[in-house]
Structure 1
């Protein structure tokens, strides 16, 4: 199912990971990047940055791989120029959940977020085992939400999400609200607090005389 895809923020931290995976797919890819550093990194991969007027109007899918702080402004700039019935993809539910994502009734909206590789994964090589972020060699799960659109849009979005976050072990369909409960509520708020508590506990038993290396092991 070949699509015309424009990746916005292609030279950024997350964008480069998606670029590496999407450039080897069957899709017709175009890449947008505004930072000099990002453009230079794309050049290192032999990727030419397109102009907005060439990349947005004809795209079947536009992936907004930009930081949340810029997503509202970028979506307001680019989404009005998209063709009817195209698909907008974002990587996180926060901006959409806050009502800051530019919306059009004649477009579909899809959100896909990686779960990152499990610490309990078994990978066939040391290099894959060391891929803690995912999207390179280690398998990971993803969560997908159709914010607006039909089932055909969901199918397209999930396929592309599997490709850009590859290798994908499992894909879970959730609502946008459920995804927001997972990230940031569960992951960043609850889990990070628990990890801080574990660290404080370890430091306390070291203070009480347990050898530090034994505590860490």
Structure 2
């Protein structure tokens, strides 16, 4: 039986992963340093924790369910204690792409991240429809990258990834650099910023007299069709001439010229993940 050491098992993400690993073929050792986290894990899954050294000494796979800014620091404390051939899984590309991982050529580094449940889906059950994050009821796609290690470790780590993010539809393979382009650049720097800007614009419409629920219903409904057209989910759908004119007029008002190069250039992505791993002091 494959042995997994789940580090950070009592955190928000760790508890999610621990719950999904319960009914799998994997034998899981849970590691959590905070008493509150241990209590949270116990209440959610019934699982007890063991000491980190004991867990990693026999682990085939170590899953790092710890914050991005801590991954490199935590890994450096035990990487030399890992058995040769151990696979270490990160849940985000920030630390790997930022160069935070310690060098050890005889262990595998694998990165995986969920796409989260898609807006356009076939879910019919209410619980699945309301599982916005994924990993509970709603199906989602995932992305995986083998940073270093033998090719046969990809299949093992992908199986773990499918388990921790279940239920999974497509599992995509890419490079760590491409995953860093997806997050933070595409999904956070751009998409999350646009999402919050949309909310701010909605609040402005409300401030100018539109009743709140009307404004929210109107923009959410329009986003549904507009995203379906933009991503060709609804291929027969077309923007009206008036909408196309509004888009052309708005782009220079809302977006700075050359913004994509400033976000997606390799040096910009690298700077972003480095800031995530080494956040400035407030």
TM over 0.5: yes
CA distance in 2, matches of 1:120, 1:22: 27
Question: 1:22-69 CA deviation, whole Å, 9 max, x = no partner?
Answer: 121111111111011111122222212112232112211111110112
Give the CA RMSD over aligned residues.
Answer: 1.4
Residues 174-185 of structure 1 correspond to what in structure 2 (within 5 A)? 174-185=174-185
Structure ranking higher in helix proportion: 2
- The normalised TM-score by structure 2 is 0.73
Question: 1:130-167 CA deviation, whole Å, 9 max, x = no partner?
Answer: 11111111001100000001210111111110011000
Report if aligned partners of 1:109, 1:149 keep a CA contact under 8 Å in 2: yes
State the partner residue of 2:275: none
SS at match of 2:111: strand
Q: Number of paired residues? A: 216
CA distance in 2, matches of 1:198, 1:52: 44
- The normalised TM-score by structure 1 is 0.94
CA distance in 2, matches of 1:198, 1:94: 26
State the partner residue of 2:170: 170
Report if aligned partners of 1:108, 1:148 keep a CA contact under 8 Å in 2: yes
Runs ≥4 residues deviating over 6 A: none
SS at match of 1:56: helix
CA distance in 1, matches of 2:3, 2:197: 47
State the partner residue of 2:89: 89
Structure 1 unaligned segments of length 5 or more: list them: none
State the partner residue of 1:10: 9
- What is the CA distance between 1:113 and its match in structure 2? 0.3
CA distance in 2, matches of 1:83, 1:186: 36
Higher Cα radius of gyration: 2
CA distance in 2, matches of 1:136, 1:35: 25
State the partner residue of 2:33: 34
